[in-house]
Structure 1
Amino acid sequence: MSDNGTKNETPTDKTAVVSSDESISAETEADGAVQRTPGQLDVLVQGVALFSDGYNIQIIGYMNTVLAKLYPKQMTAEVKARLSNSILIGDIFGMLLFGLCIDRFGRRVGIYLTTLFLVLGIVIATAAHGVTVEGMFWMMVIGRGVAGVGAGGEYTVCTSQAVECADSTEAMRKRRGMLVAVATNAAIISGFVASSIVSLIVIAAYKGVPHDGIWRICFGIGIILPLGIFFFRLRLMDSTQYQKHAIQHKIPYKLAIKYYWKPLLGCCSAWFLYDAVVYPFNLLAPTLVAGFSNNQTMQESIGWSALINFFALPGAFIGALLMDRIGRRQTYALGWSIVCVFGFVIGGTMYPLNSPSAFPAFVTLYGLFQTFLSVGPGDCNFLVSSESFPTPLRGHFLGFAAAIGKVGAAVGTQALSKCLVSFDDKLKGQQVVFLIGSAISVVGVLCVWFLIPNHPQTLEEEDVRFKAYLEENGYDTSQMGLKG
């Protein structure tokens, strides 16, 4: 990719690009098993794993409300932030670790290890006990951190597999943006929504009375899907793109960074800014909603925040439909621009909105704020951060960009949580939070427009271009691809 955000001028072997589909169909055996051409189901099954990640990430936002009712003295703002950030910190390690792992050892290896970490972490968090309440919270933090390593790894494993499967035939390639957006962002947001529904059902089963059983059940349910789809996912093979272009030894990091520094900067910046807004606004939704009334029940607070988070789901599908029609950068910028408008409107009218009659208007505006976060950067981050880089280093760069995003999530959650409680007037804190979110959106528009590259028509096109660049710079490409 060139420095001006357009495709590089390194010559592309057109024959190699054209023959991509044929080479994919021609592969018949690997490790003794027949390899068929991937279909849409192979793309979408990655979404089931990411659905589980969305559930496990978001469930703490609702359980914080339950835990605050159960342990009002011990559940301080610091403990609440620690519980929310623990899985994000685990995510960062998982994204970096498995980004390296899946490029070096293959996508399927990542499936084994991410599932192991995810299941182990959920078990620890669900079974959390301690001599003191503080000790129990620390065990919960550790468990969610371990689960975060697995969830972060799933980002790189699932997204890499999804984009490579979606590029396997001409018909699917025309809908690559839509398929990947549905299998990634839409799936994760569906997990967010599912976490709210499960929370409400379990709380209702306890008749709205705070109980330790509520958070244990809600945490424990997160283990079902990872185990349920584990054996099905093991039947999926490494993509033909990976088998053809993998670099498992002597990875040319210096050349790769020199060639891809600008799109890497763009992807990292866009993901950092997005997560700095979306994660705190998701996790703080119950707190923001409760700030309008001191008399809301636990179900009402979670129910309203669930409705707000639900608005992001149609946004994910709208963005998926736009992706292949108007382009990645355009969808990115459109989403950020509209988020900016809604954030300034909410921030500017926070006091007039603070009345029982205006509360539905606040929920609607807040929901639309979430919708367009999902339309633009929510959908585009996964796709652009995987399309912009070659197959042998896709996990590296995708994992790094996603990890930087989670740094943004941790920073945003910590900063906005403190901002929310730093004013004596609750509404003033909420107003400032929305204005900060809008200011970040302005930076997001500029970032994607000037740093995000145009996407390649095929993944093979980018792989051939990168290989030619390596050869021009004296790198031995004869060892690329899986041997034997």
Structure 2
Amino acid sequence: MSAPKDIETPIEDRAQEQHFVAPLAELESGTTKRTWNQTLSVLISGVALFSDGYNIQIAGYTNTVMAKLYPHALTTTMKARLSNSILIGDIFGMLLFGLCADRLGRRWGIVGCTFFLVLGVTLATAAHGKTPEGMLWMIVIARGVAGLGAGGEYAVCTTSAVEAANETAGLRKKRGFFVVSATNTAIISGFVGSAIVFLIVLAAYGGKPHEGVWRICFGIGIVLPLTIFIFRMRMVDSTLYQKHGIARKAFPYKLALKRYWKPLFGCSFAWFLYDTVIYPFNLLAPTLAAGFNSKATLLQSNGWGALINFFALPGCILGSLLIDRLGPRQTYAFGMVMVAIFGFAIGGAMEPLRTGGTGAFAAFVVLFGLFQSFLSVGPGNNNFLVSSESFPTPVRGQFVGLAAAIGKAGAAVGTQVYPLIIARFPTQIKGHQAMFCIGSATCLLCAVIVMTTIPDRRDQLEDEDLEFRKYLEENGWDTSDMGSHNEIVSSTPPNEKEDLKP
């Protein structure tokens, strides 16, 4: 009986081939079971986004208090500055720390993000000035610094969580669920947590506006990122980054853009469209609720707004259960279509809902809650996932950061444009109708972009890493020093390795 063909190959030649790329189907080496430590590392990689969600959303609630305390200083322009300062910081943080995550390592990116976030929130909490205008300007600057850290978390936490969820076959089977739990669910939980904290603090002050309300609410945001900082300091870079990262000065940006321009465009534009919808609707939730009762107190209007925003959390959970079954981009598009359906329904029925009494108000809350919920089922959950799974490890942090930054630009556009749209209509009801109809049409466009430009996920992230490495080599790029150690899984099955021994 003749020996197998591959055994006939000279041992010296086989030894030289073992360092090269393995067939994609044979990358499932090592343990396939998921351990609690590995699961915990995935969650810790991203759970700091809870503090980002809290610190971003708390501004919307504290603005209602500041408007009562400083009516002359807190003009419409200053209110926009307070809301947008953290968004601008987010954009710079996403770009800066996305770069740091790829060039210096995931761990150092996390350390830098935490530093700027804590510094900015501390400065905002302690803000003072000779005039209310001076104090508000200090808060604007401080929240911009905090945004630098919060934005960086989007790029660093997402890449860290996705790569940690790729360590074993057991984790990969539920990668969508774990990554969503560590990213969007954490952010939405921060949104909900900010509402609960704000309502408790406001109630402690008798429902009356007081300087202590916004200072305490800001100050709690300092504690949150520090609680897990010690755990995150002990993290190490992922196996994928150690094997495929590019830390040297030269970087193949031109080749990377040539290969991945289409998914980069799709992820960025979809995130942009989503943020043009979600941010203005979140900020205007208390205003929309208050429109049903002009006599609502500060506590009541914020309470209804908090209830509406709470609906996003069960949407996160539902979406996380669908991702690994339907696929990220399919779940993304499904969520967007459902948002459009509920949005058109609210927009078309806004007038009878506003004038139909208590029962109609309850129907509005449910419909708007479902609108918010499916924003989480689709884009809220999957922006992080599709943006990180569409790119290889060497550029993942930078491309995710760029997509998220373009998304945040959409948030700034949306928060500026929607109030202008509402103001152009003769009544507030007509303006809110237009807001829901335009937002719903935007969601349908987003669903089309997702299904036509974003690729289907690959079960094993290293598949794309190896394809990218091969692409670089075919285009004359030296890949010999990629990774902190050149560890490519051998293509030789274990039983054949024994036969290769001299």
Structure 2 length normalisation: TM-score? 0.89
Distance 1:104 1:244 in 2: 13
1:135 Cα offset (Å): 1.3
Distance 2:437 2:163 in 1: 39
Aligned to 2:73: 74
Q: 1:451 aligns with which of 453, 466, 485?
A: 453
Distance 1:448 1:318 in 2: 20
Aligned to 1:18: 26
Aligned to 1:380: 382
Compared with structure 1, are the counterparts of its residues 252 and 24 closer, same or farther at alpha carbon in structure 2 (3 Å cutoff)? farther
Contact 2:158 2:388 (C-alpha < 8 Å) held by counterparts: yes
1:64 Cα offset (Å): 1.1
The 5-angstrom pairing of residues 303-318 of structure 1 reads 303-318=303-318
Distance 1:71 1:149 in 2: 27
Aligned to 2:477, the other structure's residue is in SS state: coil
Aligned to 1:430: 432
Aligned to 1:257: 257
1:146-202: CA deviation from partner (whole Å, max 9, x where unpaired): 000000011111111100010100011000011101111111000000000000000
Aligned to 2:206, the other structure's residue is in SS state: coil
Contact 2:346 2:364 (C-alpha < 8 Å) held by counterparts: yes
Contact 1:347 1:435 (C-alpha < 8 Å) held by counterparts: yes
Q: 1:364 aligns with which of 356, 366, 375?
A: 366
Runs of 4+ in 1 over 6 A off after TM superposition: none
The 5-angstrom pairing of residues 85-96 of structure 1 reads 85-96=84-95
1:89-130: CA deviation from partner (whole Å, max 9, x where unpaired): 100000000000110000111121111100110011111112
Amino acid at match of 1:270: A
1:255 Cα offset (Å): 0.3
Aligned to 1:302: 302
Aligned to 1:42: 41
Contact 2:279 2:411 (C-alpha < 8 Å) held by counterparts: yes
Distance 1:173 1:199 in 2: 38
Amino acid at match of 1:455: R
Amino acid at match of 2:193: A
Distance 2:28 2:219 in 1: 44
1:51 aligns with 2:43: no
1:368-399: CA deviation from partner (whole Å, max 9, x where unpaired): 00000100011110001001100011001000
Distance 1:21 1:176 in 2: 17
After TM superposition, the structure 1 stretch with the greater mean CA deviation from structure 2, 316-325 or 349-358, is 349-358
1:112 aligns with 2:134: no
Distance 2:26 2:152 in 1: 32
Amino acid at match of 1:417: P
After TM superposition, the structure 1 stretch with the greater mean CA deviation from structure 2, 291-300 or 305-314, is 291-300
After TM superposition, the structure 1 stretch with the greater mean CA deviation from structure 2, 415-424 or 275-284, is 415-424
1:37 Cα offset (Å): 10
Aligned to 1:354, the other structure's residue is in SS state: helix
Amino acid at match of 1:73: H
Amino acid at match of 1:53: D
Amino acid at match of 2:276: A
1:478 Cα offset (Å): 0.2
1:292 Cα offset (Å): 2.1
**Largest Rg, 1 or 2:** 2
1:14 Cα offset (Å): 4.2
Amino acid at match of 2:468: F
Contact 2:42 2:165 (C-alpha < 8 Å) held by counterparts: yes
Contact 2:32 2:170 (C-alpha < 8 Å) held by counterparts: no
Aligned to 2:128: 129
Amino acid at match of 2:293: S
After TM superposition, the structure 1 stretch with the greater mean CA deviation from structure 2, 14-23 or 462-471, is 14-23
1:419 Cα offset (Å): 2.4
1:425 Cα offset (Å): 1.4
Contact 1:276 1:413 (C-alpha < 8 Å) held by counterparts: yes
Contact 1:332 1:448 (C-alpha < 8 Å) held by counterparts: yes
1:21 Cα offset (Å): 4.0
Contact 2:93 2:152 (C-alpha < 8 Å) held by counterparts: yes
Distance 1:17 1:127 in 2: 56
1:279 Cα offset (Å): 1.1
Q: 1:479 aligns with which of 478, 481, 484?
A: 481
The 5-angstrom pairing of residues 272-283 of structure 1 reads 272-283=272-283
1:407-448: CA deviation from partner (whole Å, max 9, x where unpaired): 001101111133234434121221111111111111111101
Compared with structure 1, are the counterparts of its residues 376 and 430 closer, same or farther at alpha carbon in structure 2 (3 Å cutoff)? same
Aligned to 1:73, the other structure's residue is in SS state: coil
Matched residue pairs, number?
463
Question: What percentage of aligned pairs have identical amino acids?
Answer: 63
Unmatched 5+ residue regions in structure 1? 1-11, 26-35
Aligned to 2:290: 290
Amino acid at match of 1:236: M
Aligned to 1:222, the other structure's residue is in SS state: helix
The 5-angstrom pairing of residues 28-427 of structure 1 reads 39-249=38-248, 250-355=250-355, 356-357=357-358, 358-427=360-429
Distance 2:261 2:445 in 1: 19
C-alpha RMSD over aligned residues = 1.8
After TM superposition, the structure 1 stretch with the greater mean CA deviation from structure 2, 253-262 or 274-283, is 274-283
Structure 1 length normalisation: TM-score? 0.93
1:265-295: CA deviation from partner (whole Å, max 9, x where unpaired): 1100111011111111111111221222221
1:15-54: CA deviation from partner (whole Å, max 9, x where unpaired): 46634543999xxxxxxxxxx9961111112343000000
Unmatched 5+ residue regions in structure 2? 1-19, 487-502
Amino acid at match of 1:399: G
Amino acid at match of 1:155: Y
Distance 1:192 1:417 in 2: 22
